Amino acid sequence: MSSEALKKLENLTRGEYEDLYRDLISFAEFRLGFNSNRGVGAEDIVNTVFRKVIDTERDDHRKWDPQKNPNFRNFLRGCVSSEISNHFNLKATESRSDPDSNPDINFFENLESGSDLIDEIHGKELRDFLFDELVEIDEKLAEVLYFTEEGYKPNELVDKLGFSDVNEVYNIKKRLRRACEGLLEKFKNE
Amino acid sequence: MDKNSSKILSWLGDFEDKSERDEYLKSKGYDLEELDKRGMNFLGDLISTQKLKQGQRHKELFQRAKELLEERRDEIELGSILESINKSNSQFAYQFSKLEEINEEDVLGMLSDEQLLLIVEELEKEDG
């Protein structure tokens, strides 16, 4: 049976699909970067997600419902997140309810698991470690991260933190990303 | 990993700036042209495979509907099944009000997988 996702993909231009593919690969690559023992590539993860989304006959099919989740890209990113989590937490996933059972699950709701991810660094959770390090670099970075965690959207941060426009938030996000990458390098070299 | 760490990493993994995204991919060793090519090939293969599967599925549904109609020719007609489905699916009514002259096989041949499945289900339900 034809899925909405298949129709959507068939209607994308070559350029649109390449852009989507690059987005998903970079997203998976960034998430996987924080895993101490990956054993899987970003392309493997993304391709598995496409197979699950397109093949309606699979038991683990992920159905895209454009009414409930109009943004196809966000839907796929959510699938990539849960695919990564499932990959690193297979045993735990088997013993609890299957996150794939609700394919329309919120983008962040499937992100808790990941037993093989860097859970603790020097006795702290990754999140706390990041905050402590970021405050050292620039308090603004920690501030943006804190309010994002609280659910603020980039345009809401503009008012909240007195930025001139949303690009300032995106620039801070770039710095945050680089800071995280820097921290990763630091762990690897320790 | 705690939920907040995952949320942070997912937020940061979403690149608004395409050139920054591409630079990031390059820094991770990706050749972008090759990546595009692999992505396109993968999608092309995936869509073809899925289409083949769908074609096979359509054929099976068509055949099943035809067989069931044949088996139950004395008890039931395609028209009455369509009428029964019409009640819950207005598309059927619109489609077939103008196609009364067409033979059964041609009618089945015009249906989508979803419609054929409804007919098969209806025939199997009444059969059971």
Asked whether the beta carbons of residue A177 and residue B12 sit closer than 8 angstroms, the reply is yes
Rounded distance, CA A164 to CA A158, Å?
7
B100/chain A closest Cα distance in angstroms: 27
Using pLDDT thresholds of 50, 70 and 90, give the confidence band for residue B35.
very high
B50/chain A closest Cα distance in angstroms: 7
Minimal CA–CA distance to A27: which of A82, A105, A65? Answer: A82
Classified as helix, coil or strand, A64 is coil
Phi and psi at residue A120, in whole multiples of 5°? Answer: -130, 140
* Least-confidence region, from A15-19, B20-24, B123-127: B123-127
End-to-end CA distance of chain A: 52
Rounded distance, CA A106 to CA A31, Å?
17
pLDDT for position A96 = 44
Chain B residues with CB-CB distance to A81 below 8 A? 6, 10
Please indicate whether residue B16 or residue B1 has the higher confidence score (pLDDT).
B16
Question: Which ipTM did the prediction report?
Answer: 0.77
A165: left (phi > 0), else alpha (psi -120 to 50), else beta?
A: beta
Among B2, B9, B58, most A C-beta atoms within 10 A, so best to mutate, is B9
**Burial of residue A175, with CB atoms counted within 10 A of its CB: 0-12 exposed, 13-18 middle, 19 or more buried:** middle
Chain B residues with CB-CB distance to A107 below 8 A? 10
Name the closest residue on chain B to residue A130, using Cα atoms: B5
pLDDT digits (tens, 9 = 90+) for A124-168: 667 787 788 877 778 888 888 889 888 888 899 999 999 999 999
Residue type, A70: P
Q: Count interface pairs A-B at CB distance under 8 A.
A: 132
A124/chain B closest Cα distance in angstroms: 11
Chain A residues with CB-CB distance to B11 below 8 A? 148, 173
Kindly give the parts of chain A with pLDDT less than 70: 1-2, 36-38, 90-125, 188-190
pTM of the model: 0.73
Q: Are residues A69 and A75 in contact, defined by beta-carbon separation less than 8 angstroms?
A: yes
Name the closest residue on chain A to residue B16, using Cα atoms: A170
Chain B residue set in contact with A, beta carbons under 8 Å: 1-18, 20-22, 24-25, 28, 30, 32, 35-36, 38-40, 42-43, 46-47, 50, 53-54, 57, 113-114, 117
B87/chain A closest Cα distance in angstroms: 23
Instruction: Give me the residues paired with residue A121 across strands.
Output: A124
Rounded distance, CA B14 to CA B94, Å?
46
- Pick A25's closest partner by Cβ from B6, B35, B114: B35
